[in-house]
Structure 1
Amino acid sequence: MSLDKFKLDGRVALITGGCQGLGLVFAQALSNAGAIVAVTSRDEAKAAEGAQRIREETGRQTLGVAVDVTDAGQVRRMAEETVRALGRIDILINNAGINVRKPILDYDEESWDLVQNTNLKAPFLCAKAVAPYMIKQKYGRIINMSSMLGTVALPERSAYCSSKGGLIQLTKVMALEWAEHNITANAVCPGPFATDLNKVVMDNPEANQFFLDHLAIKRWGNPDELSGIILYLASEASSFMTGSSLTIDGGWTAS
């Protein structure tokens, strides 16, 4: 197979939460592969700064979009603004996410709704807003960032596990409904990666050791180690893959 299948020249990628953490890594990887990248943040200044950083590092066109991905109206405007500025949307990465850790008996409704709205409702809204453009152009790649905790559970992660498991199922429905339009939808299920979202665990010696004990590779993942799978799913190389969930977890779920 020619490595040209991994090139993204002329493609436009929209990454929610793409200004920091894993989202920034994904944006940089796709931009380096030739894509024009749009990144989002709730904060307009952070969106502009994120886009500027990627543009300076890769030399390619970028766009920063301010949006609350849990708000349907703002999400529709996000899609419209991206298409107006960049001409199309070929790749959507639903990356924005949140985790609130509490035992079920202590879990308040507000925290539950926050996690569900960010991790499950938002990907639904974003895909629903972007898919019509993909259908019209008869091409699309949707990548939903789930988690290994969408397939296995941990205490104090009731809302997170539920939302990520639901996202895997939502991905399958997207794949079935939009396959006829040459749109693929796949989920990536990372295990423990060294991100700001996991800092509270990494900074707790007991919790950190618990995680290391469950990792066959015996270390946390480096965010850059997700770049390859994101590039694969965003490119022509994955044209026959849809409705799949790929777990990258250092061997946690192998045992």
Structure 2
Amino acid sequence: MSETSAETPGDADSPLPGITQFDLTDRVAIITGGSKGLGRAMAAGLASAGADVVLVSRHEDEAVEAAEAIARDFGRKAIGLKADVTHEQAVQSMVERVHTEFGRIDILINSAGINIRGPIDELSFEQFRNVQRVNVDGTWLCSRAVVPHMKHARSGRIINLASTLGLVGLEDRTPYATSKGAVVQMTRALGLELAPHGIAVNAICPGPFLTEMNIPVKDDPQIVQDVVGATACKRWGELPEIQGAAIFLASDAASYMAGSMVAVDGGWTAK
């Protein structure tokens, strides 16, 4: 059910701003896992919409190289920083450095993540815990670190990278599916908690994208059947296809969203 009033954008004398809602000019975005894969693609997408971006990685050289390329391509300020998202002090120091450098933090994309595949009886507990530390602990720590700055500004966007496998199951994926299910619920809880402070928390649930993580298994017949075959599009996602969702959730266009999951999965979860 929708309603309009004299104060809403739907009023005849106040036309919808349309495409201008997606303008990110001069906003500052932190993207963890930003040196490669979906993180780098989303960083480039935000820069193309006018944002200045900070790419965070455990490998400083990779983050710097990616940032320099984005700065050249889009004419925005882009820097690369080293930080391990599982280390509380490293995360806090990174966020404080960004705030000192730019004076603001408008957007956080929690894209750092890992995947370890295998039957449960062939995996070690340490492998399971390692996936949780990066995918869950890292998302929580980075979110906690930016929240005080966003609360002070009464504005902000936190975008978590969940997954199709946070919504549906797949065999031999207990570490990853468990972690992404946790990210889904973290997003919902934080969305409710932070909406009153003007901070929108939502998640993107990518399907099978052809990232560095998936290249080693892209030609495996079983993967092609069980993963790519599960999509309606019957193909791997291409990295630029994640950018639209990231720009949308980072922008004013997503101002009435809180704790939502945006599936970019080729139709996997529609079945």
Code of the residue aligned with 1:84 in structure 2: it is T
Higher Cα radius of gyration = 2
1:10 aligns with 2:26: yes
The answer for the alignment partner of 2:11 in structure 1 is: none
Q: Deviations over 1:135-172 (max 9, x none)?
A: 01111000000000001111110010010000010011
1:181 aligns with 2:189: no
The answer for the alignment partner of 2:175 in structure 1 is: 159
CA shift at 1:251, angstroms?
A: 1.4
Task: Give the TM-score normalised by the residue count of structure 2.
Answer: 0.92
Structure 1 stretches of at least 4 aligned residues deviating more than 2 Å after TM superposition: 209-213
1:213 aligns with 2:232: no
Code of the residue aligned with 2:218 in structure 1: it is M
Code of the residue aligned with 2:51 in structure 1: it is A
The answer for the alignment partner of 2:217 in structure 1 is: 201
The 2-side partners of 1:211 and 1:123 are apart by 25
> SS where residue 63 of structure 1 aligns?
strand
> SS where residue 213 of structure 2 aligns?
helix
Code of the residue aligned with 1:4 in structure 2: it is T
The 2-side partners of 1:192 and 1:44 are apart by 27
206-215 vs 49-58, which moves further = 206-215
Identity percentage of aligned residues: 45
CA shift at 1:176, angstroms?
A: 1.3
CA shift at 1:25, angstroms?
A: 0.6
Code of the residue aligned with 1:67 in structure 2: it is A
Change in Cα spacing, 1:212 to 1:64, as seen in structure 2 (3 Å) is: closer
1:100 aligns with 2:100: no
Contact 2:208 2:228 in 1 (8 A): no
Code of the residue aligned with 1:193 in structure 2: it is F
> SS where residue 195 of structure 2 aligns?
helix
The answer for the alignment partner of 2:7 in structure 1 is: none
Pick the aligned partner of 1:73 from 47, 66, 89: 89
Contact 2:47 2:76 in 1 (8 A): yes
The 2-side partners of 1:213 and 1:179 are apart by 37
The unaligned stretches of length 5 or more in structure 1 are none
The unaligned stretches of length 5 or more in structure 2 are 1-15
CA shift at 1:209, angstroms?
A: 3.1
Code of the residue aligned with 1:166 in structure 2: it is A
The 1-side partners of 2:88 and 2:56 are apart by 15
The 2-side partners of 1:187 and 1:221 are apart by 17
| Higher helix content, 1 or 2 | 1
Task: Give the TM-score normalised by the residue count of structure 1.
Answer: 0.97
- In the TM superposition, what are the counterparts of 1:111-130 in structure 2 within 5 Å? 111-130=127-146
CA shift at 1:207, angstroms?
A: 2.0
> How many residues matched?
255
